[in-house]
Amino acid sequence: MDLLTGTYDCKVDAKGRLMMPSPLKKQLSSVLEDGFVLRRSVFQKCLELYPMSEWQVLMQKINKLNKFKKKNNDFIRRFTAGVKMVEVDTNGRLLIPKDLTVFANISKDIVITSVVNIIEIWDKDLYEQAIDDATVDFADLAEEVMGQDDDDYGIS
């Protein structure tokens, strides 16, 4: 699967369904019929939507953990807590299960944003707050994470 691109303002209906934005649906066209896995984010109050192929790659890594170590078992249990398999219906809608809606404080206005190979689903207010909170440190963070020496980029 190719990398995903885009951030979209959307709405969730009273039943918890969101209409997938058409540019995103187009990017996901090759994996739509395989379905998705929806889970709670580890670091933020948002949801992560994994195309099934991406989820399987991640689960293969997790499956290599020694399950006879308590910390590994605890991690696996918490990482997979609340995980749901979901599909985009023929109308292009995705149903967000109630427990995940509650976890992410999703009401009506949401933001769907690509994060390399997965999609995050946020309550709009929480997304704006997370972006605003990170703005102050973003220049320092960008330099620390991406500010490699020029030699690392083949520039001499």
Amino acid identity of 153?
Y
Residue 53 to residue 37: CA distance in whole angstroms: 10
- Is residue 18 in a domain? yes
- Is residue 23 in a domain? yes
The residue that leads in pLDDT, 145 or 97, is: 97
The domain that holds 106 is classified in CATH as 3.40.1550.20
- Is residue 57 in a domain? yes
- Is residue 136 in a domain? no
Asked if pLDDT for residue 155 goes beyond 70, the answer is: no
For 34-62, write each residue's pLDDT tens digit: 999 999 999 899 999 999 999 999 999 99
- Is residue 150 in a domain? no
For 89-141, write each residue's pLDDT tens digit: 988 899 999 999 999 999 899 999 999 899 999 999 999 988 887 666 777 77
What is the count of structural domains for the chain? 1
- Is residue 47 in a domain? yes
108 CA to centre of own chain: 18
Reported pTM: 0.85
- Is residue 13 in a domain? yes
- Is residue 152 in a domain? no
Residue 108: Cβ-neighbour burial (10 angstroms; 0-12, 13-18, 19+): exposed
Domain interval for residue 90: 7-124
pLDDT, the chain, mean: 88
Outline where the chain has alpha helix (H): 22-27, 52-63, 70-79, 98-103, 124-146
